[in-house]
Amino acid sequence: MDKSIIHQALSGDKKSIARCISWIENKSIGYEAVIEATTHNEPAPLIGITGPPGAGKSTLVDALVSVYVAEGKKVAVLCVDPSSPFHDGALLGDRIRMGRWYNEPLVYIRSLSSRGSLGGLNPTAREITDFLRYCGFDGVIIETVGVGQSEVEVARLADLTILVLVPESGDEVQFMKAGLMEAADLYVVNKSDRPGAELFTTQLKNQVHEQDLVFNTVASSGEGVDLLKERISKYFYKS
């Protein structure tokens, strides 16, 4: 394994980062050297984005990336997609997701398949995110598949976990009550321009007992995303 590629990856070279991630994901011979190299410098914050299918997680991630790029911040996004029934690759490839960022120097996006994991994450997600955090990014975002209560795994991985819901999520909130609801740090009611959003937000705030942890967004238009980003920064930097 060419250690110069590892060095280039840790310096922020996208092609080298991609190769190193593939080595880790496939557990290629010598992949441990990639992980062992990430023992210096300060790791970037890791933000987990999770929630039920259809909540708009990808759209919210896209909107957050837009805010970070506008501030000149460098960000990596790891999208964990459902596995293909015919191979172990991601069913929703990264080429059709957040496409406007692929030529943006400040953004690195990678899709991984869940490979059948019930936790909503790729089995090597921890090793891959640990590696990405040392590659010169200001922040790393990991978006999970969206399979419901079993996604508590992301809360064990991320420094900050954001649960994305929609106004119609009332029944799902009850289903997740014993798992993901308690594991999340921040709650986003996305698509909050829909009917019933105000009532659902009030109920959610009453359930989590801390109103400043719940945010309303319309990610497709960027509404509310700036406030969410400010709260994320406050969480990490206490400012």
Per-residue tokens: 28:
């290629």
Q: Where are the domains of the chain?
A: 1-40, 42-237
- Give the Cα separation of 187 and 190 in Å (integer): 9
In this model, does residue 105 exceed pLDDT 70?
yes
* Local confidence band at 211 (pLDDT 50, 70, 90 cut-offs): confident
Per-residue tokens: 131:
């590696």
Most confident range, picked from 36-40, 60-64, 112-116: 60-64
Residue 151 confidence (pLDDT)? 60
* Local confidence band at 2 (pLDDT 50, 70, 90 cut-offs): confident
- Give the Cα separation of 202 and 234 in Å (integer): 23
- The three-class DSSP label of residue 67 is helix
* Local confidence band at 64 (pLDDT 50, 70, 90 cut-offs): very high
Bridge partner list, 164: 188
**Phi and psi (nearest 5°) for 114?**
-75, -20
Most confident range, picked from 37-51, 123-137, 162-176, 217-231: 217-231
| Average confidence (pLDDT) over 51-63 | 90
Pick from 189, 224, 199, 193: which is nearest to 56 by CA? 189
CB 195 within 8 A of CB 81: no
Write the CB contacts of 110 (distance below 8 Å, at least 6 apart in sequence): 18, 21, 76, 77, 78, 79, 94
Which strand (E) or helix (H) includes residue 55?
A: none
Mean pLDDT over all residues of the chain?
83
* Local confidence band at 223 (pLDDT 50, 70, 90 cut-offs): very high
Residue 174 confidence (pLDDT)? 63
| Positive or negative torsion for Cα 220, 54, 98, 239 | positive
Select the CATH number that applies to the domain covering 42-237 from these four: 3.40.50.300, 1.10.3720.10, 1.10.1200.10, 3.10.20.30.
Answer: 3.40.50.300
At 177, the amino acid letter reads: K
* Local confidence band at 201 (pLDDT 50, 70, 90 cut-offs): very high
pLDDT in tens, 175-198: 565 566 777 899 999 999 999 999
Q: Is residue 48 classed exposed, middle or buried when 0-12, 13-18 and 19+ CB atoms within 10 A define those classes?
A: buried
Question: Residue 10, CB half-sphere, CA atoms under 13 Å: how many?
Answer: 19
- The three-class DSSP label of residue 155 is helix
